[in-house]
Each structure stands twice: as C-alpha cells, then as structure tokens.
Structure 1
Amino acid sequence: MTQLSNSISRSQVEQLVRQALSQQLGAGPAAAPSSAPNPLVVNISARHIHLSQEHLEVLFGKGAELEVQKDLYQEGYFAATQTVAVVGPRRRMIPNVRVLGPCRGDTQVELAFTDTISLGLDVPIRISGDLKGTPGCVLMGPKGVVELEFGVIRAARHVHMSPADCAYYGCSNGDNLHLRIESAGCTTVLEDVVVRENPEVKLEVHIDTDEGNAVDLDHATSVKLYVPESCKCKHS
C-alpha cells in the first residue's frame, strides 16, 4: 500500500480519490453512457425568485407559507403557487415571476439577459448566493411591497454534481466545464458551466431561458458534459 506523508495536500488527496473512483466507474466521459454514475439532465431555469421568510410575509401577509405547485428535479425544492411582480427603474415591470421554495436567508431574483434589458437593469452574472454589489429592484405582492437594495443576478450556467459525478468527469467544485448540445442546425458548445458539488444533489445542468432558446434545447438530440483541456491540466 502506498504511504501518504503528513504533508500531502488536499488537492492531491482529491486527485487520488478521483483516480480510484474513475477506475471503478469507467474511463470517463468517453466511456459508454452506462458507466456513468448518474444520467445527465439539462434543464432551463426560467426567471424566478427566492424569498426570505420576512419578505414572504410582507408580500403575502403575516404568517404566509409557500404552497407547492410542482416539485423540481432536485429533491426538497419546488415551484410555489405564489408569484410576484418585479419592477425596475422607471417602473418597467415583469409580472407573475414564480417564487421557488423553500425560503432562503436572503431574497434573490434570478433573471435572463433579455429580462434585465426589459427592466432597464445592469445585472452581473453570479453564482447563486453571491449577492454583494448586485442591483436591487421592487417586488410587488398581493399584500405588500418590498424594495430590495441588492439581490438581482443573472445566474451563471452551472451543473449540480455529487462527489461520484465529479470523480467520473474528473472535476471538482468551482471548475468550469463545457456543455455540447446537438440540435438540428444549431449544435453549440456552452463554456464556463460552473461545477457546484454537493453530496445530496442529482446531476443536473441549469441554463437560462435565453441560452435554452439559443441552443434549441427542446429539440436537442444529444448533450455531453466534459472537462476542457485547460481544466484537465490543473488536475494532472
């Protein structure tokens, strides 16, 4: 058995674990699909809002709770029956923006690029939860109004992965992968798909409405997630 010194780095340990799991799970993305630990799912994440409990009660009344309309692909998450209007500068508005549950610590509005143009907002691309320095907006519900000082983002395209998924694809949390989507007449590679590793998630890529329409995801015949050469070098 190979002896590991006390000075071995965490990245080296992760690499050894990936190599061991890869031998058990298959050679990698080029292997037969059956060798992958989980099926690859790509979903469009339409404009939506995550509310704090405080803001939920302002918008929908004291003691309000989110009501489940539909469960999402990730366990424990759902689209609620509640919707709110998002108002930008000069009172430009997008009505009926869906609230997703459960509630969070900070309210967060996730929009596509065309949505931000419609509202007249200059919105950065961020990973969910990274809200520092983001613009705000006004939220209108049936019982009240919330003026957000920050919290509006364009969600970075990302992929939820378990440790087994990361081992199979040869990546780790925070890496940027490529997603190849084959559709008739518009095969496209989307770069900078951020890895979000969590042992409790299913393998799922999220892209926004603009991206989904551009690649004609509804008629895609094949999707493939892979590590770009620059990222492979980092782990070698």
Structure 2
Amino acid sequence: MDIDHLVEEIVKELTNKHAMKNSNDKYLVPIGVSGRHCHLTKSDFEKLFGSEASLTKKADLSQPGQFAANETVTIAGPKGSIQNVRILGPLRRKTQVEISLTDARKLGVTPPIRESGELMDSSPVTIIGPKGSIYLKEGLIIAQAHIHMNPEDAVRFNVKDGEFVRVKIINESRPISFEKVKVRVSPNFVLEMHIDTDEANAADVKPGTFGKLFKLGGPI
C-alpha cells in the first residue's frame, strides 16, 4: 500500500470513528452541504434538452427518491453566468434554482433567502440548456438552512414541522451557530441538516461533521 493511500485510509477511519462517537448524542444532527442546483418541470426540461431527452441519474442523494442527474445547465443574470449547474431529480411541478450569496453576486441578482418552493417575488433567472433556454420572472432563491427529519426524530428533538431552531456546528476550528434553521418533518425524510456552500465554508464543515440542535431561547 502506497503512503498516499495509507493516509487516505487513516483519515477515513478517524472520520468514521468521530461520526460514530458524535452520533451517540441524541441532539446531534449530521450536516449536509447543498451546492448550487436546479429543479425543473417536465415541460422546462424538454425546452432545454429536447422532447426526446430523459433526465438520467448520476448519484442518489441522502433523501429517499432524490438524485443528482448527469444533466447540467448554465444559469445567467445581468452581470454574469455560471456553467455546469447540476439538475436534481426527479422532475418537479415548479422550476427553481438554488444558489449561494456568492453565486448571486456573480450573477448580479439579489435573491431572497427562502424555503424550497416559496418562489413568489423571488429573483429572475435565465436557464440555458443544449437545446434552448428559458427565462423565469421568479424562481431563483438562496435556500433557507433547514433540517430534514422524520416524525420519530421530531419527537426525540421535541420540535415540530415549521419550527425554527438553533444548531451549533461541532468542530474545533470554527464552532459557528446557525440561529434560524427551519425544521421540516415528513415520514419520507432522513435526518440531515442542509446548508449551502457559503455557510459550509464559514463553519469549516467537512464530511462527518455534526451540529447540536437547541430550541430557540435555550437547550432542549
């Protein structure tokens, strides 16, 4: 075994041990980083990729039934564009794009911080595919930090759907707290907090990072 591979295996083992140790605390939540991405309706997908095209799976995501597609698009605003924005499947009833604040500045737009699906009065964006483009008068947002959990998790954490909580990132380098994290409860969800790349960089989030959940105003 070469030295690089050995180091990689040791780091992986330490990360797994750290995750297992943290998971014993009933108030800890695994942290997932959500990069810029796009959700499309069937109609909009066909406008961008052609009527004969199909959305194809690249990799499964943490939430059951959700996947990252092989297909990507370019998004454009008044000041610039960003290529290779991943489409997430399956196809949805509404088209929307989720980006970070850094992305927004590059595009020259000021999207609101919203929960996924809350698109009224959000920012406009142009989406460009290999076969065409579409312009959305609204549909571009910065995703609100949120936690997916099932009803059993909600009972354990003593929280309810739609509630806002505080989450302190557990690490030694940058133990940042997120003060307004929305709880989303569904029998179909797997426990995970989602933050964007700006938030992850600010908190130095790495694979295996956990956050500790607190009720607003104090611990659970």
TM bucket normalised to smaller: 0.7 to 0.9
Aligned to 2:186: 198
Aligned partner of 1:125 in structure 2 is 113
Structure 1 residue 34, shift from structure 2 partner: 4.4
TM-aligned CA deviation for residue 230 of structure 1: 6.5
Specify which of 198, 207, 214 is matched with residue 210 of structure 1: 198
For 1:44, the aligned partner's letter is V
Q: Give yes or no for contact 1:173–1:195 (8 Å, CA) kept in 2.
A: yes
2: CA distance, partners of 1:49 / 1:173: 25
CA displacement at 1:205 relative to structure 2: 0.4
Aligned-residue offset at 1:35: 7.6
Task: Give how far 1:223 is off.
Answer: 2.4
Alpha-carbon distance between aligned partners in 2 of 1:77 and 1:227, rounded to the nearest angstrom? 29
1:79 match: 68
Report the count of equivalent residues.
Answer: 199
User: CA separation in 2, counterparts of 1:157 and 1:168?
Assistant: 20
> TM-score normalised to the size of structure 2?
0.85
Contact 1:161 1:198 in 2 (8 A): yes
Question: In the aligned structure 2, how far is the partner of 1:44 from the partner of 1:81?
Answer: 19
The alpha-carbon deviation at position 192 of structure 1 amounts to: 0.7
Q: Distance in 1 between matches of 2:203 and 2:51?
A: 43
The equivalent residue for 1:18 is none
Deviations 1:96-124 (A, max 9, x none): 10000001111000000000000000110
Q: Distance in 2 between matches of 1:87 and 1:200?
A: 33
4+ residue runs over 3 A deviation: 32-36, 219-222
Query: Is contact 1:112–1:208 with CA below 8 Å preserved after alignment?
Result: yes
Which amino acid is the alignment partner of residue 114 of structure 2?
A: R
Identity value in percent:
39
Query: As a proportion of its length, which structure holds more strand?
Result: 2
The answer to whether the 8 Å contact 1:184/1:220 transfers is no
Cα distance 1:183–1:110, how it changes in 2: closer, same or farther (>3 A)?
same
Please give the alpha-carbon distance, in whole angstroms, between the structure 1 residues aligned to 2:173 and 2:45.
Answer: 44
Residues 60-93 of structure 1 deviation map (CA, whole Å, 9 limit, x = unaligned) = 0013221000000111000000000000014x10
Which residue identity is paired with 1:160? H
Secondary structure in 1 matching 2:106: helix
Using the alignment, how far apart are the partners of 2:30 and 2:173 within structure 1? Answer: 21
Give the Cα separation in 2 of the matches to 1:230 and 1:138. 43
Q: Is the 8 A contact 1:136 1:147 kept in 2?
A: yes
What is the TM-score of this pair, normalised by structure 1?
0.79
RMSD over aligned CA atoms reads 2.1
Q: 1:193 Cα shift?
A: 0.7
Unpaired runs of 5+ residues, structure 2, are: 1-21
CA contact (8 A) 2:30 2:208 kept: no
For 2:36, the aligned partner's letter is R
**Aligned partners of 2:147 and 2:181 also within 8 Å:** yes
CA deviation map 1:131-182 (0-9, x unaligned): 0011111111000011111100000000011111111111101111111113
Tell me which residue corresponds to 1:45: 34
Say which SS state the counterpart of residue 137 (structure 2) adopts: coil
1:20-77 C-alpha deviation (Å, 9 max, x unpaired): xxxxxxxxxxxx95484x9732100000000010010000001322100000011100
Larger-Rg structure? 1
> Where does structure 1 lack aligned partners over 5 or more consecutive residues?
1-31
Cα displacement (A) at 1:186: 1.4
- Matched residues in 2 for 1:212 and 1:35: separation? 22
Match of 1:60 among 49, 53, 56: 49
Distance (whole Å) between structure 1 residues aligned to residue 117 and residue 124 of structure 2? 14
**What residue identity is the alignment partner of 1:69?**
K
Structure 1 residues 199 and 44, CA, compared in 2 at 3 Å: closer, same or farther?
same
Given the alignment, which residue of 80, 92, 95 partners 2:83? 95
